[in-house]
Structure 1
């Protein structure tokens, strides 16, 4: 299977409007000019007035742009605050999607092929659904809608997205061995590198294109949790200005600026509405086919003070939720 990129992400939160404010005012994302399923109106004419703020659907879901795609991040109202509801993995076309469905079914994995209405709800041409061994909901798709009119509300800010996809996320998973097999052997992701946290835990970094990793995962004994997602910017000054805006906005900045040793990302982390963390960075490594996976030690060249504590806090919070749900 040849996955092109992590194309989009769907997040659940108690207050999508708060996430819209955060994404627009702090991160510099742009509200989607039309949400999936809405008409674009006649060419050269103003779009029909929906009576809602841009990027907000009838059900209150929020859709956000980072580049020429119609949308990259969707935020839906959910009782589970900060939950990763789904993510989209892009394929080249309908033949590739049909082949992927056949490969998954040959592995005994349940797959649902989407209807035209399902595809319209994601602004794509074709779509199919499955889950990874930890229960994360995957959407395989092709033919995303393009809207070239991206302009960040923050002057001159640009994201590193395009063919590289929306960014990356780090997942706590509850069956890492099976997840690793699923993403690498079945979906075709490649291991970039890994770091051990003792004899029974290792954070693995997986890629599907030149971006160092699109998915990272580790079993923290905390179930299935979105720990953080990355948005990458083109310029270090944009990262620094985002840090300034985060502080003015009163957000919890959970790590100082720093540079990761493995992917070279210069970044900081902050707590987003919904309880998970968002990494904002620049300068991430791009890998080619000559790259060999390796184990590395020490997560950072410098900085990122507070990051380890934030990861531990997230795992403890998730374990407490699991215990409360089981009692």
Structure 2
């Protein structure tokens, strides 16, 4: 099955906007841009009008996730996706007002197995002005999308089946996390745009968002900034077994984590062989206790 989804294009989360403004600029190096909607902050990581939307509200950890935006390349591909969803019994609703708000040409709303809100669209607006990172970093985005989202699920097998059987994602690989199995899925050459696992403890929702930058220096400088600011590092620097990302994890103002990394692996579907790994990291990625149960939090950081 060929996916009509080409990328994870954007995320919408809830959290304290003023804290996100400082965190986004000082730690992540994402650029805030004007929003037409009071109580929202929009952030760019490239030429797109935005990649991350923060709706003002209290931090709620995994449940901070408000929407995942899945991009399709053209209007015919979007309509083909909608037809496929409808044929498989998925309730899909077109939302023209939300399309204007999201600055896309057309948008449809539906939900995945765990009830996460998904927004399929085409034609996201681009900004004619240059992306200017407050930290001078460049992100790996473009056709690969904003990054990846690691989702907590009530049933990872069923959640993964929704993304593969319904949306056409392909299996990249799996990891034995000790207390659960992580399932990693791709829709373009990025090693995974979605990952799911049934981690005991946290509710279904967003475990972490991965943002990839172009250099190890940018990762290291961000790591130093996090330590100087006193933000909660949840995983130290390390390298993953499956996607080879060198990264660290930091808690966001919303209560989910951001994985900040570089050198992520790319997949060529014609040559790719699915593997299973018995550990999440080759080196590093030491869990840092920030008051949550160590095992579930550690397992989420892959």
TM-score, normalised relative to structure 2:
0.91
Superposed counterparts of 1:191-202, under 5 Å: 191-197=171-177, 201-202=180-181
Query: What is the distance in 1 between the residues matched to 2:71 and 2:121?
Result: 5
Asked if 1:287 is matched to 2:263, the reply is: no
Contact 1:269 1:307 (C-alpha < 8 Å) held by counterparts: no
Superposed counterparts of 1:251-270, under 5 Å: 251-270=231-250
Change in CA separation of 1:70 and 1:5 when aligned onto 2, cut-off 3 Å: same
Contact 1:3 1:91 (C-alpha < 8 Å) held by counterparts: yes
Change in CA separation of 1:104 and 1:270 when aligned onto 2, cut-off 3 Å: same
Partner residue in 2 for 1:30: 31
Q: Structure 1: which 4+ aligned runs deviate by more than 3 Å?
A: 307-316
Cα deviation, 1:148-177, whole Å, max 9, x if unaligned, reads: 42011113x101111111111211111222
Query: What is the distance in 2 between the residues matched to 1:231 and 1:310?
Result: 24
Corresponding residue pairs, total = 290
Query: What is the distance in 1 between the residues matched to 2:72 and 2:20?
Result: 28
Cα deviation, 1:94-117, whole Å, max 9, x if unaligned, reads: 1111111111111111110121x2
Deviation for aligned residue 1:308: 9.5
Partner residue in 2 for 1:110: 91
Change in CA separation of 1:269 and 1:311 when aligned onto 2, cut-off 3 Å: farther
Partner residue in 2 for 1:235: 215
Deviation for aligned residue 1:309: 9.0
Q: Note the residue ranges of structure 1 that are not aligned, 5 or more in a row.
A: 39-56, 317-327
Query: What is the distance in 2 between the residues matched to 1:311 and 1:233?
Result: 28
TM-score, normalised relative to structure 1:
0.84
Query: What is the distance in 2 between the residues matched to 1:113 and 1:314?
Result: 40
Deviation for aligned residue 1:80: 5.5
Deviation for aligned residue 1:214: 0.7
Partner residue in 1 for 2:300: none
SS of residue in 1 equivalent to 2:121: strand
Q: CA RMSD in A?
A: 1.9
Q: Note the residue ranges of structure 2 that are not aligned, 5 or more in a row.
A: 298-302
SS of residue in 2 equivalent to 1:245: helix
Contact 1:169 1:214 (C-alpha < 8 Å) held by counterparts: yes
Alignment match of 1:142 (pick from 89, 98, 122): 122
SS of residue in 2 equivalent to 1:241: helix
Contact 2:4 2:78 (C-alpha < 8 Å) held by counterparts: no
Partner residue in 1 for 2:18: 17
Contact 1:10 1:73 (C-alpha < 8 Å) held by counterparts: yes
SS of residue in 1 equivalent to 2:125: coil
SS of residue in 2 equivalent to 1:110: coil
Partner residue in 1 for 2:147: 167
Asked if 1:93 is matched to 2:95, the reply is: no
Alignment match of 2:277 (pick from 273, 291, 296): 296
Query: What is the distance in 2 between the residues matched to 1:308 and 1:176?
Result: 25
Cα deviation, 1:184-236, whole Å, max 9, x if unaligned, reads: 011010110001245x8310011110000011110124331211111110010
Deviation for aligned residue 1:253: 1.2
Query: What is the distance in 1 between the residues matched to 2:189 and 2:273?
Result: 13
Alignment match of 1:218 (pick from 194, 197, 213): 197
Alignment match of 2:5 (pick from 3, 6, 24): 3
